[in-house]
Amino acid sequence: MAHVLGQNQYGKAENRIVRVRRDSGRHEIKDLNVSVSLRGAFDDVHLTGSNANCLPTDSTKNTVYAFAKQYGIESAEGFAALLARHFVEHTERGVVHSARIRVEEYGWERIRTADRAAEAGDSGHSFVRSGQEVRTTEVLYDGDRFRVVSGLKDLVVMNTTDSEFWGYLKDRYTTLRESYDRILATQVTARWAFDFHGRDGRPQPEWNHSYQEVRRHLLEAFADTYSYSLQQTLHAMGTRVLDHRAEVDEVRLELPNKHHFLVDLAPFGLKNENEVYFAADRMYGLIEGTVHREGVTPVIPVS
C-alpha cells in the first residue's frame, strides 16, 4: 500500500524574549513567548532529505529577536502580524505558503509606593488575582488574509455572593444539594476573533486598547451578573464583549468551576454561616461555549 505525506509544518517554539524600551526615564517592558510555525513546499525535506527549501528553525528564532530590536513591540498582535507577513512574503523562493505565530504575553505592573495607592472603587464582592493572567495571541497569514485570535488565560475571578444553583435535573446518582447563595469562582480562558482580514484597506485595530477593553467587559459582566449557573455567566460575558466591541466577531470561553464547599463545623460546636469553605482544585466542572454575531461563521477551534 502506498504511503502519502500529509499535512506538515515546522518552526521554532517558545522563543522567550524581553524587550525593554529605554528612550525615557520611564522604561517599558514587553515580555513574550513567541512560537513560529510554517507551512509550504516542504515535501522534499521529508521525502528526499533535501533541505533546499528548508529555512532553519534557528533562522526563525533569530528573526524574532532581530524584529524586536528593529521594529519594537507595540502589541502582541501587531508583532505577530509583522512576523507572519515576513515569513510568507520574504522567505526565498516563496516556499512558505502560510505562517502561524502564537504569542503569550506576561504582564508586569509597576510597583506602587505608599504615596501612590490605587483608587478605591470595586463592587464589594468581586475580586481578581492581579498579575496572574497571561495574554495570548494567534495570528495566521496565508499571503492573502490574516486571521487574528486574541485572548487570555489563568484569569482567576470570584463572586462571594449573587450566585445560586438549583432546579437542575436529578437522577439516582445526584447527591449535590441545591444552593441559593454560593461562591462562584472560575479561572477564565478566553479567546476572541477579530473582524480584521488585512486586505480590505481597513487599519489594524488598536490591539492594546482592544485587549484592555475586552478584559474589562469580561470582568464587569462576571461581577454584574446575578448568576443561576456558570453557563449563564459565560453567555453574559461573551455577549457583553460583542455588545461593546465592534471589532470582535466571536468570543469563546472556557470556565472551570472552582468549587468552594462549606466546611461542616458542627462537630466543634460552631455554626458556619457561609463563612468558611474548602477550596477544591479538582475535580471540577468545565463549562465551555462560544458567543458570536449572527451570520458569522465561528473560526476559533475547540481546545
Binding residues for 5-hydroxyisourate: 57, 165, 182, 231, 257
Exposure string over 15-32, b if 16+ CB within 10 A, otherwise e: bebebeeeeeeeeeebbb
Residue 32, phi then psi, degrees to nearest 5: -125, 155
- Contacts of residue 147, Cβ cutoff 8 Å, sequence gap at least 6: 139, 140, 141, 193, 197, 299
C-beta neighbour count of 245 within 10 angstroms? 19
> Which residues fall in the annotated binding site?
57-58, 165, 182, 231, 257
> Which residues fall in the annotated binding site for O2?
57, 257
- Directed axis angle between helix 230-244 and helix 207-224, to 10°? 140
Q: What is the DSSP letter of 255?
A: E
Residue in the block written with cell 528548508? 54
Instruction: Give the residues across from 1 on adjacent strands.
Output: none
Active site residues: 12, 57, 259
C-alpha cell at 103: 504569542
> What sign results for the dihedral spanned by CA atoms 288, 194, 77, 110?
negative
> Which residues fall in the annotated binding site for urate?
57-58, 165, 182, 231, 257
